[in-house]
Amino acid sequence: MNGAGEYVVYYAPEAAQATVKRRRSMLIQRLISTVVSVGIGAAVWYFFAAQVGSFGPWLVGSAVAVGLVWLIITGTALLIARADARQVAPGPAFATTRDGVWVAGLWLPWAEVGSFHAAPGRLGRSPLLRVQARDGRSAAVPMNYLTALPANIDSAVRALSGGRTWIDLSRLDD
């Protein structure tokens, strides 16, 4: 797929790994923050027991509770980033020619393309570039981990399909 009139977009696995690394770092920071907060709460309770009184256990407990909530949130974000990274392998993710489009292993001639749209990512996932065939088959690639911007891909699709198909990017605003 490297001839004239072809547009190929590759996966960017280094971007996916950078997201995993950033989320792992955030989890470690949250863990350290929780330990420090619990330690400060325990120290305040221990050294100022007379002033804190019966509020001491609540002080430590609230630090533990808030810390655990943030650990769960950042741990979930790390798991999501790892799942996204598993979808990204070196090589082409998307290609379009004057004859049709290839997305994540699914080849469709332009006449068989039912819809082409961007689906917003949920819970920290990458938005997806999704193609749906008229017969129900579909394929998607994570847009955050591609080597081209959505508008560039849309321009290539419009040009190489002869204006018959374009990517609906409106859902990215949701």
DSSP track, 133-146: ETTS-EEEEEGGGB
Residues 21 and 78 in one domain: yes
- Cβ–Cβ under 8 Å, residues 53 and 17: no
Tens of pLDDT along the chain (174 residues) come to 444 459 999 999 999 999 999 999 999 999 999 999 999 999 998 898 888 888 888 989 999 999 999 999 999 999 999 998 998 988 999 999 999 999 988 999 999 999 899 988 887 788 999 999 999 999 999 999 999 998 899 999 999 988 888 898 888 776
Residues 95 and 112 in one domain: yes
Q: How far apart are CA 93 and CA 147, in angstroms?
A: 9
Which pLDDT score, from 0 to 100, does residue 5 have? 59
Host domain of residue 144: 90-173
Tell me the C-alpha to C-alpha distance, in Å, between residue 149 and each of 10, 89, 129, 152. 11, 18, 11, 5
Single residue among 43, 68, 87 that ends a domain in this structure: 87
* pTM for this entry: 0.76
Single residue among 87, 115, 142 that ends a domain in this structure: 87
Residues 115 and 138 in one domain: yes
Q: Does residue 94 lie within any of the structural domains?
A: yes
Single residue among 34, 66, 87 that ends a domain in this structure: 87
Q: Does residue 43 lie within any of the structural domains?
A: yes
Residues 95 and 39 in one domain: no
Residues 127 and 154 in one domain: yes
Q: Does residue 68 lie within any of the structural domains?
A: yes
Residues 27 and 59 in one domain: yes
Q: Does residue 7 lie within any of the structural domains?
A: no
Residues 151 and 132 in one domain: yes
Total structural domains in the chain? 2
Residues 131 and 148 in one domain: yes
Residues 116 and 168 in one domain: yes
Residues 36 and 66 in one domain: yes
Residues 121 and 155 in one domain: yes
Angle at 162 between CA 161 and CA 165, to 5 degrees: 50
Residues 75 and 135 in one domain: no
